[in-house]
Structure 1
């Protein structure tokens, strides 16, 4: 399945949190990515979509949390994040859409 992912399938959305905003000062941008995406696919997608040079990609999978909503138990989906380190002088403005 992971072979047929397009660049738009790989990158789901940017993550805009306080921690991610602080990391952007160090040329790092955080994205929510497809669960099956590899680091090479993530790097290729970021370089193609945003026209920037990527130096490195770190990934992590946050396991889904159990939450209660209106007295019912539900489980959030697992979430894969990619923290992308950009080359010096390259930036991505995540406030604009793809």
Structure 2
């Protein structure tokens, strides 16, 4: 797996914004097959930062219903990255 394929995109919610400001943590949606070491290497190389810790969560897809049709969203993996003190990753610079 290439390092660009591992990270799918940032998760930007109220909770992740607070984590970023208070704990210097950023949250990404990542490939389900990636492990913590691969995620750490991908973040360090793609964003040119130092990573202190990586925590991962397997998120189960929700069951959704539209009329009589019942479906399910895909399962996905979330990675919470704790950066070293003094390191930052800015997604929306100047906004």
For the superposition of Structure 1 and Structure 2, which TM-score range results when normalised by the shorter chain? over 0.9
Count of residues paired in the alignment: 92
2:37 to 37, 40, 43: 40
Structure 1 residue runs of 4 or more that deviate by more than 4 Å after TM superposition: none
CA distance in 1 between counterparts of 2:74 and 2:2 reads 22
TM-score (norm 1): 0.89
Q: Which residue of 1 aligns with 2:6?
A: 10
Q: What secondary structure sits across from 2:40 in the alignment? A: helix
Query: Structure 1: which 5+ residue stretches go unaligned?
Result: none
Q: What 5-or-longer segments of structure 2 have no aligned partner?
A: none
Cα deviation for residue 70 of structure 1 reads: 4.3
Partner of residue 55 from structure 1, selected from 52, 56, 60: 52
SS, match of residue 93 in structure 1: coil
State the 1:79 CA deviation: 1.3
Task: State the Cα RMSD in Å.
Answer: 1.1
